Amino acid sequence: MVVSMFIALYATRLVLNALGAEDYGIFNLAAGLVALLSFLNGAMTLATQRYMSFSLGAGDRAQLRKVFNSGILLHLIIGIAVVLLLEGVGMYLFSNVLRIPPERLFAAKSIFHFMVVTAFFTIASVPYDAIINTNENMLFVAVLGIIESVAKLSLAIYLPYAFSDRLIFYGAALAILSVLLLIGKRIYCTRKYAESRVRKQELDKGLIKEMFAYAGWSAIGASGVIAKSQGVAVILNVFFGAVINAAFGIANQINAQLTYFSVTMLQSLNPQIVKSEGSGNRKRMIQLAMMACKFSFFLLAFFAIPAIIEMPFVLRMWLQNIPEHTVMFCRLIITASLINQLSSGLQIAVHAVGRIRKYQIIISVLLLLNLPGAWLLLHMGLPPFTVMLFAIFVEIISCGFRAIAARRLTGLKVSEYLFKVIWQALVPVTLAVGIAVIPSLLMEEGFLRLLITGLISSLSFFISIRYLGLTAYEQEKLEEMLEKLITKVSTRLKPV
């Protein structure tokens, strides 16, 4: 995972230098769909994974095969619908809304078409992602992540030497990569998991209808995230042009890499949470959900604290050309992600119970408040980063709503959540931040200060969460998870 993160960040630098700020901004505007598809893909994976985990929890392999095959057909239908929707909305935006230089309009439309192709194959791969996650195969996830990162790095290295339009070439190459990744997942799953073999006779119309309703509501919630982020990108483009999208895209890229560890950890806890609900153990399910909130928050905070403090130097060291407003965008977007992690386990718990219609509608409406809020702030003449300040405000409200929804749907005690998650997460991290910021107040900016900040941040972080952030059970569970992961990796890498 560390290898994938650094490869992806270095590849971003190469792509930015090869395309230039304006073309990179166009890429992030037209192709930002791909980065944000992780939310849609993740939500639909959770939907399919829920049914798979329930089947495993009940020990029903026959039902698991039905879930997988029904999921294949379902996501092909969803993929086609998404393609039609994106093409219709996208062409309207290109023709009537977006500010793109006329000479780059064809390239922008071309890369958008390629990204729509990528969207289809990403959605089609959901059942395979779900069965990998259900079986808690984190090693394959890590290996596939490295392969994908190396492939994208190779594209970035070759990009300056491309004979055709670099922007169009890059989009086409990413679309081809998405097809190859789907093929790789299918081959692996077919050989590894017997239930992942496609059989028409395993289709269950009643199950497809049930999964469609559940996946549909999950997709609505995820679409709220996508519309919020891409909508903000469009609004920024309308007010400031394509260059501001480069800064916004870089910030989202950094945030995606920093949250990679948290997302992977949640993938490992998700099946346990859903299986607990499926076996009727609601108490353990809630306990695991609250633990997931803390673990994911701590994982992100570990990397985020030094990154936020030293962001100007990190960006100068990483990128040769830094678009204006990038530093502030990075700091605020990471802060919003930290707040989101505090309720990440509750989102899984609500999905595990299954009654998500009202929950998804309300959370989508809350997230979409970002659009009128961003438009109003920029219309008033305020600087671009204020849209992320408003996004943080909305994220805080959303976190509170998720706690209330979890109380109604799962029986979560909000007072217990406030103490065991919010208080025990924020107190040690606030203390660690207070200590980690000291070098930036006493030393000149540079590589030495970055190293010292990272060292002090790590030490203060581990000590504070050890004594203030984790209960004895959580420490035991964390050690168990790490030991299990190390054992699994060492066993699979052992020579035959």
Which tens digits make up the pLDDT trace of 384-407?
999 999 999 999 999 999 999 999
* pLDDT score, position 59: 66
Mean pLDDT (whole number) for 368-386:
93
pLDDT band at 1 (very low <50, low <70, confident <90, very high): low
203: left (phi over 0), alpha (psi -120 to 50) or beta: beta
**Mean pLDDT on 101-125:** 84
Tell me: pLDDT of 491 over 70.
Answer: no
How much is the pLDDT for 37? 57
CB 345 within 8 A of CB 293: yes
Q: How far apart are CA 395 and CA 336, in angstroms?
A: 7
Average pLDDT, the chain: 82
Q: How confident is the model at residue 418 (pLDDT cuts 50, 70, 90)?
A: very high
Most confident of the following: 21-30, 176-185, 211-220, 446-455: 446-455
Alpha carbon distance 149, 181 (integer Å): 12
The closest alpha carbon to 267, from 142, 412, 360, belongs to 142
Model pLDDT, residue 33? 57
Instruction: Give the pLDDT band (50/70/90) at residue 490.
Output: very low
Q: For residue range 311-341, list pLDDT tens digits in order.
A: 999 888 887 778 888 999 999 999 999 999 9
Q: Is pLDDT above 70 for 170?
A: yes
pTM of the predicted structure, to 2 decimals? 0.76
Question: Is residue 299 predicted with pLDDT exceeding 80?
Answer: yes
Is the pLDDT higher at 138 or at 414? 414
More confident residue, 406 or 35: 406
- Whether 263 shows a pLDDT value over 60: the answer reads yes
Give CA–CA dist 334/323, Å, rounded.
18
Mean predicted confidence (pLDDT) in 179-207: 81
**Separation CA 27–CA 167 (nearest Å):** 7
pLDDT band per the 50, 70, 90 thresholds, residue 493: very low
Closest to 295 (Cα-Cα) out of 31, 474, 81, 96: 474
Mean pLDDT of the region 70-94: 82
Domains of the chain by residue range:
1-220, 259-496
- DSSP label of 446: S
How confident is residue 32, by pLDDT bands cut at 50, 70 and 90? low
